[in-house]
Structure 1
Amino acid sequence: MKITVIHGQLHKGSSYHITNQIINKILSDDKEVYEYFMPSDTPKFCVGCYKCFNESEDDCPQAKKVQKIVRSMELSDIVVIDSPTYCYAMTGQLKTFFDHLGYMWLSHRPKEAMFNKVGIVVSTASGAGANKVTKALAQQMFWMGISNVIQYSKSVNASSWETVTDKIKGPIAKDTSKISIKAKAKVGKASPNFRLKFMFTIMRMMQKSNDWNMVDKNYWEENGWLDKKRPW
């Protein structure tokens, strides 16, 4: 079993520790984890050059960093993304990474490998807003073809993991056990939900009439998605 973990921040705070609990509790004899930290593994800001859309994702000025993570995601059974809550949103470092993945959204060139993966998104806050972050992360996954996403948000009432009380850590430990079991059970069985299939159909219709970006249209044609073949 392969797992890609993308941390939205470099420091190892509450979001990191909760994610780490989940990963450690996913029991597998052949577990292999690819782990990335923002901002050390973050590509530089997207400059809007459109090369990923109009030419190839490999022509992006930041392709070396971006594609290393993308390849890990493609190889993995489970993709985990966590982020602390910054001003009711994900970290800027993580958003910078997502800005580079627009080319692989459903509306452009989604990766076939993404449609049968399990996603887990985690966010914590010292106060409110963590649920907004997990919804935003799940939305990013959806547009990349992952609809089987487990969301976990938690207000820890503390600015560091060390100061989170045992009263809060106890339920978190139980929750992470449940999440790990649920995620592992979905591996090999995950498939797109109705909403994702419906959106894929809408994008398929759009690509059939696409006369503005032949890179995208050719991609859909080569995969057979404009005919009867589907990526699931």
Structure 2
Amino acid sequence: MKYLIINGSPRHGHTWEIVTRVKNTLSTTDTNTTFTHVELIDENIPYCRGCFSCFENGEDSCPDSDKIGPIVDKIRECDGLIITSPVYALHITALLKNFIDHVAYLYHRPEFFTKKALIISTTAGMGHKKVGKFLDETLRNWGFNERFKLCLIDVHDTNGYLPLNIKEKIDKTTLKFYNSIESKKLKSPSMNALFMYNMWRAMAYNNHIPCDHDFWVENDLINHEYHPSIPCSFIKKMPCKIFYKLMLGFLSKNSVKKEEV
């Protein structure tokens, strides 16, 4: 299996020790395992300008597409994503937030519906749950089918070693992550995922942003309450059918029309 590790920390500290344990467990479980590393500190990605070009003109028009595009391609190519961030000021690091800002178009144009991810975060105090929740929500909006979390507090004993209970938790979550990928089974989406999908779908249908419309039409997503490769019962989709029609009505009445010149 091919794993991509996106390291949001500027150094290899406590969070990286968890990554090392995860890598060892995955490598022991499957001897054909390979890892690709993206150290965001070394990518020297400029701050997102908020120019909106990725939305309006496509992600290739981003001023930093030469740095962002290859990382997104690596996500497409991997079997599993491992994404890390220690807690900085009760949130993710600026490095990781900057990368996420650059790929904000993935909220509008989600594509990783068959992918699985492992989120790793550590803290000496608090904020680990908030970081885990934010990254889980972000990856869900990118389309990720299943996300596993290792969000830990005070992960070292007084001698600087990982306690046995922490090691067991890391190994248990890592094996769940591995087994989910290896089985190739896809989970039914949560109601939050369904509603967000249908909100972007309605905006795309309404041609709110032409690039979004083209993406949803070209990938045959516009006619589905969720990605057709993901199992989802008719009953579960029913509220989204109603929500989608309500969104279409709302958008048709509230879209700003350009003035003809």
Identity among equivalent pairs (%): 27
By how many angstroms is 1:231 displaced? 5.0
Give the match for residue 209 of structure 1. 206
Task: Choose which of 175, 179, 199 in structure 1 pairs with 2:196.
Answer: 199
CA distance in 2, matches of 1:129, 1:190: 30
Give the match for residue 171 of structure 2. 177
Give the match for residue 252 of structure 2. none
Listed as ranges, the gaps of 5+ residues in structure 1 are none
Give the match for residue 113 of structure 2. 115
CA distance in 2, matches of 1:51, 1:231: 29
By how many angstroms is 1:194 displaced? 2.8
**Quick one: structure 1 residues 15 and 136, their matched pair in 2 at CA, closer, same or farther if it must change by over 3 Å?**
same
CA distance in 2, matches of 1:182, 1:176: 10
CA distance in 1, matches of 2:2, 2:228: 20
By how many angstroms is 1:115 displaced? 0.8
TM-score by length of 1: 0.88
CA distance in 2, matches of 1:231, 1:54: 26
Give the match for residue 7 of structure 2. 7
Contact (CA 8 Å) 2:4, 2:36: kept in 1 or not?
yes
By how many angstroms is 1:42 displaced? 4.7
1:23-71 Cα offsets, whole Å, 9 max, x none, are: 2211223322111112212521111122111112111111111111111
187-196 or 171-180, larger mean C-alpha shift: 187-196
> Which structure ranks higher in relative contact order (CA pairs < 8 Å, sequence separation ≥ 6)?
1
CA distance in 2, matches of 1:177, 1:186: 14
CA distance in 1, matches of 2:155, 2:34: 33
**Quick one: structure 1 residues 76 and 191, their matched pair in 2 at CA, closer, same or farther if it must change by over 3 Å?**
farther
CA RMSD of aligned residues (A): 2.0
Q: 1:41-120 maps to which residues of 2 (within 5 A)?
A: 41-105=43-107, 108-111=108-111, 114-120=112-118
Q: How many residues align?
A: 223
CA distance in 2, matches of 1:71, 1:164: 41
**Quick one: structure 1 residues 70 and 151, their matched pair in 2 at CA, closer, same or farther if it must change by over 3 Å?**
same
Q: 1:127-142 maps to which residues of 2 (within 5 A)?
A: 127-142=125-140
By how many angstroms is 1:18 displaced? 0.2
Q: Kindly name which structure, 1 or 2, has the bigger radius of gyration based on alpha carbons.
A: 2
1:66-92 Cα offsets, whole Å, 9 max, x none, are: 111111111112111111111111111
The DSSP-based 3-state class of the residue aligned with 2:150 is strand
Contact (CA 8 Å) 2:155, 2:163: kept in 1 or not?
no
CA distance in 2, matches of 1:217, 1:66: 22
